[in-house]
A = this chain, B = another copy of it.
């Protein structure tokens, strides 16, 4: 789909949360994006400076209620609304709009959605239309999409290292353990006791053991890659950092493959990718090395248990795990250079 004649006129729905503000940061230096509308129902009427003092200088529109947006002035919508309400909002938008949705509402197929969320989807026609926007895997489909479901943070950090290996048939699809550690922004800006500083700092806990809602999303992508239904072991953990996900992944090699085959497959898959990088032998990523960037770093090595390997992948959950991948998808949808607005170096230390 070709670039628009003018710059891309953008609306961000739900701009007062962490993925919203991250879009504002990334789009600040996007050469083709113009932010025309920002919504935040409970904060409607406020300036962005009230909600995010660090953006006071930017010449940004005030927050409005979603009903106040003049859609004729908008080309593309980033939807940063809570899971569940998003499907109705997106269904109500004019059809000329392209949409990058950061919620979980359009990521699953209808049956899986109903199983995990306990009710039928309220916009099933859109659910079918939506393209799952794991850019490196679905670039062509994203390029032709009107509605993109931006992948979740855990699913991004699990699928990027695993999909090439499953496609190549060199790891056992029935023996995958994903142990993931996430920073606190993954839980959003909502007021929850479990997100309080004094509850999170100086500790770590597992949560959603064996039933986190990102699990079916991971399995859907891995199943497509493996060509058969895949069930994974997946345990997310909450730890004291703002940004970052580290996935430590345990696999069994099959069909005679060894570590060198895994390495070669991943390096080959991502050789031309601007945002995915396979580290040298003996190196494993830290989330500090991706903070603020759209990078996904992957390290891998042999396990001591014969025939097994360990993969470690790191992303910034707010960038490659949310807003950065959303911008990347937008760039692909509109035929813009894929790295536009995403050239930030990691912030270390």
Contacts and interface: CB of A to CB of B under 8 A. Distances in A.
A198 interface: yes
A111 interface: no
Contact of A25 (B179, B193, B200, B347): B347
A275 B221 CA distance: 43
B209 A301 contact: yes
Which of A184, A203, A210, A211 counts the most chain B CB atoms within 10 A?
A: A203
B202 A242 contact: yes
What does DSSP make chain A's interface, helix, strand, loop or mixed? loop
Nearest to A282: B209
Given A53-B279, A189-B198, A237 B243 contact: no
Contacts of A200: 197
A200 to B, nearest CB: 4
**Interface size of A as a range:** 35 or more
A210 B241 contact: no
Contact of A308 (B53, B54, B233): B233
Contacts of A326: none
A173 to B, nearest CB: 11
Contacts of A310: 206, 209-210, 233, 235
A23 to B, nearest CB: 11
A257 to B, nearest CB: 17
A135 interface: no
